[in-house]
Structure 1
Amino acid sequence: MTDASGRIALLRATIVVVAAGGLRALTYRAVAAEAGVSHGLVRHHFGTRDQLVAEAMEFAIDESLRGSNMLEQGLTASEFAAGIESLADRESALQSFQYELLLESRRRPELTPLAERHYGAYREAIERQLGRLGVADPALVDLIWFALDGLVFTQLVAPADPAPALARIRSLVESAAA
């Protein structure tokens, strides 16, 4: 295992641990057990628990965005709209991890920059995609972001059929880009 792949395995293990048990379950030992390594290796790679949390959040945001079509260039309005989906269906651990940190940031102000990074990254990705389609409407960007964020959270907590809401979001994107 290379150093880079070892870090990635530990970040993935961190996400699994926090998604399953919240931040209170996050220990070097829990991450090491999930990754199948010694707990000293976790400390070696990240130094502090806060650094581990910060890097895992960055990793989760990047993985989530890469798994969507929000970073792809050259999409038509229909292609972008068709790719709008509930991320919770695909990557529930990534999404659960992020929501755990977002909620914890209300209690721990030192996590606020991670929450801001989370919201900024997703909103900027949507804004860029809509901008590529010729749509410069900050209110529509916010509406789509808030709707998708709510859909993901709902799918994690009380799964329901998101198809009608997603169809409406797709329609809004296609109409705005027309």
Structure 2
Amino acid sequence: MTHSDSSTGRQPRKRLNYGEGREALLSAAVRVVARGGLRRLTYRAVAEEAGVTHGLVVHHFGSRDALIEETLTHTIRTSLSTSALEPGTGEVADFAAGVSDMVTADPDIQAFQYELLLESRRRPELLPHLRALYDEYFDATRRELTRMLPAGADEALTRLVFAALDGLVLHQLVFGRPEVTDAAIGELRGLLRLLAAGHADPDTEGGPPA
């Protein structure tokens, strides 16, 4: 049985195989950034969070930039698998199901992404990686909207729907109250049902003809 060093409060160093160690370090990097921002992301901070040696982090990633890039890739895989953006059924009732549970279960991975979004205003070199992440989200959203809506979904509608979900995730992350998230998503589904039934036209609703 492993146990913490009672005199320091630190976790004992672990011996991990290559794949397991890499995943553990990526998850640790997410937690470090979620709590302290990108400025706190160092080899030493990740090693301490994961309970491994500093040298193991260097061995796996080689540079801080590589660590950032691979952690972003890790968040793409994790977020898309749990985001509920593309259940694949084409049923409005299934769209975005479980979003509030996703935030409750893993708030750090959501906080990591928002931290990097803010950091990209100061570090433009992060933008290509963040665009790649959000392009994955947009594509998944558009594919599912196209399954649900007879007229399909253009870029503007896709971004509107995704922005609503993204904002709800951020609000729950900061303010809590998952029931508010669930209620708002219920309203969003109601609007999508109107579009699917042909009761509203996103090109003309809410304004006079051009």
Contact 2:87 2:94 in 1 (8 A): no
Given the two structures, how large is their TM-score scaled by the length of structure 1? 0.90
Given the two structures, how large is their TM-score scaled by the length of structure 2? 0.77
**Structure 1 residues 70-89: aligned runs within 5 Å:** 70-80=85-95, 83=97, 85-86=99-100, 87-89=102-104
1:62 paired residue number = 77
Candidates 187, 191, 201, aligned match of 1:168: 187
CA distance in 2, matches of 1:69, 1:147: 14
Deviation of the 1:38 alpha carbon: 0.4
Q: Is it true that 1:10 corresponds to 2:25 in the alignment?
A: yes
Larger Rg: 2
Candidates 196, 199, 205, aligned match of 1:177: 196
> Relative contact order: is structure 1 or structure 2 higher (C-alpha 8 Å, sep ≥ 6)?
1
2:176 paired residue number = 159
Contact 1:10 1:35 in 2 (8 A): yes
Contact 1:19 1:100 in 2 (8 A): yes
Deviation of the 1:119 alpha carbon: 1.7
**Structure 1 residues 124-139: aligned runs within 5 Å:** 124-134=139-149, 135-139=152-156
Deviation of the 1:52 alpha carbon: 0.4
Query: 1:159 corresponds to which letter in structure 2?
Result: G
- State the identity %: 48
What stretches of structure 1 of length at least 5 have no aligned partner? none
**Structure 1 residues 79-158: aligned runs within 5 Å:** 79-80=94-95, 83=97, 85-86=99-100, 87-134=102-149, 135-158=152-175
Query: 2:193 corresponds to which letter in structure 1?
Result: E
Cα-Cα RMSD: 1.8
Give the total of aligned pairs: 177
CA distance in 2, matches of 1:9, 1:174: 42
Deviation of the 1:64 alpha carbon: 1.1
Deviation of the 1:75 alpha carbon: 4.4
Candidates 33, 38, 42, aligned match of 2:48: 33
Residue-by-residue CA offset, 1:122-176 (whole Å, 9 max, x unaligned): 1111011112334323332111111111111111222342233211111123333
Structure with more helix by fraction: 1
Partner of 2:84, secondary structure, is: coil
Partner of 1:106, secondary structure, is: coil
Which has the larger displacement, 70-79 or 39-48?
A: 70-79
